[in-house]
Structure 1
Amino acid sequence: MSDDLNHVMEFSSDGKLFAYIDEAGKLKIWDTERNLLKQEYIPNLHLASPITCLKWIEVGEKKSGSKKTPKKKLKQNESKLYLVLGTNKGKVVLYSYADAQIEREFQGTGHSDAVTDLFYDDAESIYSCGADSKVIKWNLGDGCKETQVLQAGKQKLTAIAVVDNFAIVASRAIKVYDLKSETCIKTFTGHSGTVSTIKTFTHNEKSYFLSISKTERIVSMWCLDETDKTDPIGSFVTDDCIIQINFNVTNDQLQLTAVNRIGVLQMYVQDLTKLRTSKPVKKRLNVQIVSEAVKNVSEPIQIIACLITAGENELLVAYGDRMLLKFEHIQPDHTMKENVLVRQNPKKFLKQSELDAQKPHNVVVPLAEKGKVEYLNQVTAVKKDLKPIDTPLQTRLENMSIGKSGDEPPAKNMVRLLIQGLHSKDANILRTVFQTKDPDAVRSTLEKLPPQYIKPLVNELSLLMQKKTTNVQLSIVWLKTLIQTQTSQLMALGSDTLKDMFGLCLGIVDHRMNDLPALMMLKGRMDLIASQLERKIKIQLI
C-alpha cells in the first residue's frame, strides 16, 4: 500500500460517501451504503497538475434576512456538498458533488508549489499549506478569495490544522502560529519523519491534537494549552507505519483506530485521565480481513480506511483494491485480541464480470439482398479519423527491435526506454534497462534523464534492492551513477526531500550491512579451512 494516501482519500462527515484520487489522477466518489461508484471525474488539469489533497466541506443554509449573494459567490441557498482539491501546481479548486464538475477556482496569488494539505473550520474558511512553506486562508463566502497569507518558516509544510486563531503546521517539527500576529508562539518536538496527518479535538476545555508520520509506528498526542510542554503527553504504538487514523472522544474515553500500510486495522481505547507519557498505549485489538480459503490458503485483503460511526462499537471500513472497493459496518469483538473477518475478495467480482462479458451471446445477423448492397471503393469510402500517436513510429520500431535481441539496448534508446518504463511502470521495460551493466551506457543514460524522473527512478531502484543479491548489485550501480551525474539536481531538492527519497535505500543498506561483520568472519574461517586442506593434500602427495 502506498504511503502517500493520507490526503487523497476521505470519508464525508456522515460517512455516506468516500472520495479518493486513484493512481491515474481520477477523482472517484463511492456510495458506502450501497457499495456503488457514484461519480468518476477526470479534471482537465490532472495530467499537467495532479491532485495532491482533498477535503469534504458542506455549505449550509443561509440565515433568513441575509442579502442575496451575487452570481460570483457560492450558491448557499441550500445545503450542498463540495470537495476542495489541491493540486501539484499550487492551485485550489472547488468540486461540486451535486453538479459533478469543478465549480470554481480559488482566487488569489496562491501557492508557488504543491498544495500538501487542507483544513476546513466548519464556517466559511479553508486553510491550505504547501511545499512553499505558506499557509493561506480562503474565504468561501466571498467568492473563494484569498484573505491571508502566512509565511511559516522555510521548510516544506505537510500537514495543517486550525484551532481558534492558532494554526498548527508541521513538516518534521510541529509549530503553532498566532494568525492575528502571524508569529510562531510554540514549537513541539514533532517526529523523526515527515508529519502526514494532524487531527484536533477539545476535551475539558483544553485543545489536543494527534499526529502521525508516514515513516513511524507512533501516534503522538499533544496538548495545545500547556505552554511549558513541548513533548507529547501520550503515544500509541502500532505494528507498522500508519497511513490513516480516526478517533472519537466520549466522556473521558478516547477511541482511536489506525490503519497501517499492510492493510491491518488496529484499535485503541484509552482513559484520557490516566494517560502517561512514560508508557506508550498498546493496541486493544487487531481487525484483519482475509479471503475465503482456496486449497486451505487464505489471502489477506487490505483495509484502506476506517471511520468510527455514531453507533456504539461500530466501525465503517473500506477494504479491497483501490480500483474496486467495498464498504462494511463491523462491530469488533473486544474480548478477542485478533478479529479476523472472512470476506470474498472484491477482485473476484471484477474477474467474474469480465469472464461473463467474454461469453458468447446469440447474435441475430440481418440478411441483405444482393441487389441492394452498396460497395465502397477508395473514392466513395469515408476515411476514418486517425488518432494521434504519442510515440513516433521510428521509436516504436526501435523498441521492438530491442526486445528481440538478447543484447543490451543501445545507449541512444536507453533514455527513451527508461522514461517509458517509469511513466508506465512496465516491469519488463524496467528490467531490460536495469540489467545493463556497461558503466558508460548507464552514465550516458542518467546524464540525459529529465529531472522530473529522478524521484520515480529512486523509488524503482528501492524496490529492486529488496530482491535478490544480483538485483541489489545492479541497483547500487545505478544509484551510485545517479548521484554522480545528477548531483546538482539532487542538492536542489533539499535535505528533507532527500531523506524521504533515499530513506528506504539507506534502510536496506543498513540492514544488509548488519550481517557484514559475521559474513567476513565466516569468510575468514572458510579461507583458513581451505588453506589447511590444500596443505594436507600437498603433504599427502609428497
Structure 2
Amino acid sequence: MAAGGGSVSLQLPCVFSPKSRQYLAVCAQDGRLRIWNTDSKTLHQEYVPSAHLSATCTCIHWGPCRTVKEGPQRKKRKSEAGQLEEKADLLAMGTAAGTVLIYSTAKGALHCTLDGGHSGGVNCVHWHPEDSLLYSGSDDTNIVEWDLQTGKTRSKWKADRAAVTSLCVSPDGKLLLSAGQTIKMWDLDTKEVYRKFTGHSTAVTTLRFATTRPPDTSGLYFLSGAAHDRLLSVWQIREDGKDKNSVVSFTLTDEPQHIDLVTSKSKEEAVRLAVVCKDGQLHLFEHFLNGPCKKPLSPSCTVQMSDTQDSPMPIPLLAATLGPDSRTVMLAYGNYLQPVMERVDINTAERHVCLSRNIQTALSLSIASTVSKVKTPIVNAKSKVLVPGLPGHQAPVKGTSLSTEKRKKVSDTKEMSIAERLGEIDLQSAASTVKGAPKGMPSLQTDNFAVLLVQGLESSDGNILNKVFQTHKDMVIKKTVAQLPLTAVLPLVEEITRRLQGHPFTAVLMVRWLKAVLMHHTSYLSSLPDLVSKLGVLYHMIESRVKMFHKLTKLHGKLYLLVTQVATTTSSNMVSDVDHTARLVYEEESSDEDEASGDEGLPDEDSDNWEEAVMDDHKEKQIDEDEEDPKSRTDSKANGEEDMENGNESEEE
C-alpha cells in the first residue's frame, strides 16, 4: 500500500488503511491530507501542513494496526479495547523538504516530525511490520532507519548512485527491498546487500513482496513496477543465487499507479493482484507462483468506469483494494479532492467489465451525509436563492467618467455592435503604428475591454477573447479586471487556466491576467464554497511546472558547463606554434670604425679579450688555408710572424 515516489511521476498518493480498509488517505493538489471513512463515505479528518505549499506531500504509508499496548489509545477507548487491533492509527507522510510527518488519526493531529535525516526530498516510506521502526528513501541516495520511540535516526546508509524511489520490508521484518534503477535486497541486521536485481530502464516506483516464505527455500517472490513501463516484473529469490532475471511478467495498459495484492503462503495458494494504471483502468490478476513463466500474463479481468451521459466519458479510478473473496473489490474513483468510494462485486469470468455511475449523484449524496457545523436555513421551494458566482447574480459594468461628453456624442446615434468594437481595436492598433495619424481617430476605452471580455466569456467566442487578451499593457489589464462583475471572475479564471495549458507565448500573457485577477478579486474567490475544486487544476499545473523548472535549471547549468569546457578545449587546440621572429629590432648607434669592421657583437676596443679573440680568428683562418693549399704554409707562417710582430709593437706603444 505504499505510494509511488512523487519526484518520479506526478501521481498523487492515495492509500487504503490495512486490514479493515476502513479509511482512505488522500493527498490532493491543494496539499492537504484528507482521511475518508469508506463505510460512511464521509470525510473523517483533514490535516493542513503548516508549510504544505513549500513542502508538498510526496508519499504516504499506513503503519501497522496499533495494539492494546498503546497507552493513550487504550485510555480513550476502554470499551473498544478488543477492536483496537483492527484499527489503523499512525500514518507516515514524506515531504519534498526531506522531513517525515507522523499523523495520528486517533488524536486527529500531528504525532511527531522526523527531520535531520535527509538532505533531499523523501520519495518513499515504509513501516517495519513488528518493531516501532520506519524506513525512508530520498533523492539524496540514502536510506534512513527511524526509531519512532525517540524520534531520531537509528541508522543511515547510502543505497544507490541515483535517488531511492521505492522501499518495501519483508513480512518477517528481516529483509528490505530498495530501488532506484537497480533493485537491492538488504539484510536489516547487518545493513549489507543480500542480492541485486537489474531489469528496469527507468526508476522503480513499486516494490511488493508476493509471498511470506523465507528466502532460503527458493519460494520468496516479489514484484516491481517502474515509471513509463507497462509491465510488472516478478522476481524469485533462489537458494542457489541464480535469480538475475525476472520469472513472470504481468502486462498492463499504462504505468502502474496503485497496487494491492493478497500474498501467497504456500505453493497451492494463488497470488491475487489488483493494479490501477495511470490511464484509470483496473486490472485483476490471479497466478500461482511456482517458477519461471516465459509468456507475459494478461489480466484475467479489466474494469473501467464511465458516466451515464448520452456520450459517456471515462471516470478515472484512483485506487482499489481486494476483498476477502475474489469478486469483492473496494474502489475509489473520481477526483482526488473528493473521491467516491464504493464496494462492488465484479464478475471476474468476463475479460472486460464497464461500470456506469452517475458521479454527480454520488458526490451529492456524499456531501449531504457529511457532518457539518454550519446550519442550513429552511428555504421555501418557490423562492430563488442567489449565490455569488452562479448565473442570475448580475451586476452591470460601470464605465469610466473620463471624456463623457465626447463619448455621449458617439453613443447618441446608436450603440456599437461587437463587430464594430473589434474594428475599433484594429483601427487603434493601426493608428498607433502609422506616424502622423489624425487625432480624431476612434480609441477604445478600458471599460470597452471589460464589456468585450464579459461578452466573450458568456458567448465563448474565441475571436473576441483573443482580441482582448492580446493587450500587453499592464495598466489596461488591471483596469479591465477591476471593472469586471463578480459573476465573470470565475469564468475568467477557468479561461485563463485553459489557455495556460496551451502555447508558451500565450501562457506568458495569461500570467499577467491571472496576477491581476488575484490582486483584485482574492476576497471574492475565497468566499466561494467550491473554490478548491475550481482552482485545483490550476494549482496542480503550476506546481508541476515549477518542479520541472528546477530540473531544467539544473540541466541548463550542466549543459552550460559542458559547452564552456568544449569551447575552451577547442580554442586551446587551435593555438598555433609561437612565431619566434622578432616583431621589433633595436640597433644601437655605432662609430665609423665599428661600422667598417662590421662586427656588432664584439666587445669594446679597450678589452684584452678582444685582441685574443682577433688572434684566435686569424689562427683558424690560417689552419683552414693550410688544409686547402699545402704550398702556402710558408707564406702563412711568415704572415703570422709579421702579425705577431705588429701585435707586439702595438702592445709596446
TM-score bracket, shorter-length normalisation: 0.5 to 0.7
Supply the AA of the counterpart residue of 1:168: L
State the partner residue of 1:335. Answer: 349
Give, in whole Å, the separation in 2 of the partners of 1:454 and 1:43.
16
Partner of 1:93: 101
Q: Match for 1:305 among 306, 319, 338?
A: 319
Matched residue, 2:233: 220
Partner of 2:111: 103
Aligned counterpart in structure 1 of residue 15 of structure 2, from 10, 26, 32: 10
Structure-2 change in CA distance of 1:291 and 1:403 (3 Å):
closer
Distance in 1 of aligned mates of 2:191 and 2:29: 37
Counterparts of 2:377 and 2:548 in 1: how far apart (Å)? 37
- 2:304 paired with 1:253: no
1:173 Cα deviation (Å)? 1.6
Aligned-residue Cα RMSD (Å) equals 4.3
The aligned amino acid for 1:178 is: D
Q: Contact 2:42–2:367 (CA<8 Å) still a contact in 1?
A: no
Supply the distance in 2 between the matched residues of 1:90 and 1:44 (Cα, whole angstroms): 15
Partner of residue 198 from structure 1, selected from 192, 195, 207:
207
Aligned to 2:165: 158
* Conserved 8 A contact 1:319-1:327: yes
The code of the aligned residue for 1:283 comes to: P
The residue aligned with 2:497 is 426
- Calculate percent identity across the aligned residue pairs: 22
Say which of 144, 147, 152 aligns to 2:151.
Answer: 144
Structure 2: runs of 5+ lacking an equivalent? 1-5, 73-80, 369-375, 384-448, 454-464, 477-491, 510-541, 563-653
Structure 1 residues 60-75: aligned runs within 5 Å: 60-61=66-67
Q: Does 1:326 align with 2:331?
A: no
Aligned to 1:271: 288
- The equivalent of 1:33 in structure 2 is 39
Amino acid at match of 2:236: C
Residue 339 of structure 1, CA deviation: 1.1
4+ runs deviating over 6 angstroms: 351-354, 356-363, 399-404, 457-460
Q: What TM-score comes out, normalization by structure 1 length?
A: 0.64
CA distance in 1, matches of 2:110, 2:561: 32
**Pairs within 5 Å for 1:474-489:** 487-489=555-557
**Paired residue total:** 402
**Measured at CA, do residues 117 and 436 of structure 1 come closer, stay the same or move farther in structure 2, by a change above 3 Å?**
closer
Q: Does 1:317 align with 2:328?
A: no
Deviation for aligned residue 1:358: 13
Q: Which residue identity is paired with 1:266?
A: H
* TM-score (normalizing by structure 2): 0.54
The structure-2 alpha-carbon separation of the partners of 1:38 and 1:279, relative to structure 1 and needing over 3 Å to count, comes to same
- How far is the alpha carbon of 1:17 from its aligned partner? 0.4
Contact 1:6–1:197 under 8 Å retained in 2 = no
User: 282, 285, 290: which is aligned to 2:298?
Assistant: 282
Does the 8 Å CA contact 2:10/2:544 hold for their aligned counterparts? no
Per-residue deviation at 1:323?
A: 2.1
Alpha-carbon deviations, 1:454-509, whole Å to 9, x = none? 9616969xxxxxxxxxxxxxxxxxxxxx97x9754465999xxxxxxxxxxxxxxx
Query: Based on CA coordinates, which of the two structures has the bigger radius of gyration?
Result: 2
Of residues 182, 199, 211 in structure 1, which corresponds to 2:191? 182
Q: C-alpha displacement at 1:165, in angstroms?
A: 3.3
> In the alignment, residue 322 of structure 2 is paired with which amino acid?
I
- Secondary structure of 1:202 counterpart: coil
The equivalent of 1:416 in structure 2 is none
Relative to 1, partners in 2 of residues 1:281 and 1:148: Cα closer, same or farther, differing over 3 Å? same
1:115 to 114, 122, 131: 122
After TM superposition, give the deviation of residue 7 of structure 1 in Å.
6.9
Cα separation, partners in 2 of 1:37 and 1:146, compared to 1, 3 Å:
same
How many Å separate the matches in 2 of 1:493 and 1:233? Answer: 44
Amino acid at match of 1:211: S
Q: Which whole-Å CA distance do the structure 1 matches of 2:379 and 2:547 have between them? A: 43
Cα distance in structure 2, aligned partners of 1:6 and 1:407: 35
Partner of 1:233: 247
- Is 1:456 aligned to 2:545, yes or no? yes
Q: Which amino acid aligns with 2:51?
A: L
Kept in 1: contact 2:501–2:507 (CA 8 A) = no
- Paired AA for residue 11 in structure 1: F
Contact 2:231–2:249 (8 Å) recurs in 1 = yes
1:49 and 2:59 aligned: no
Q: What are the residue-to-residue correspondences of 1:324-363 with 2, within 5 Å? A: 324-346=338-360, 349-350=363-364
**How many angstroms does 1:32 deviate by?**
0.8
Distance in 1 of aligned mates of 2:103 and 2:353: 38
Map residues 400-411 of structure 1 onto 2, 5 A cutoff: 407=470, 409=472
* Structure with the higher strand share, 1 or 2: 1
1:145 Cα deviation from its structure 2 partner: 2.3
Question: Partners in 1 of 2:272 and 2:561 — Cα distance?
Answer: 39
Structure 1 CA distance for aligned equivalents of residues 152 and 286 of structure 2: 41
Q: CA deviation at 1:168?
A: 1.3
Residues 437 and 249 (structure 1), Cα distance of their counterparts in 2 relative to 1, 3 Å cut: closer
Helix, strand or coil at the partner of 2:89? strand
CA–CA distance in structure 1, aligned partners of residues 367 and 190 of structure 2: 59
The SS at the match of 2:253 is coil
Task: Check conservation: 1:232, 1:277, Cα contact below 8 A.
Answer: no
Contact 1:256 1:268 in 2 (8 A): yes
Q: Which has the higher helix share?
A: 2
C-alpha distance in 2, partners of 1:323/1:239?
25
- Contact in 1 for aligned 2:26/2:35 (Cα 8 Å): yes
**Alignment-derived partner of residue 648 in structure 2:** none
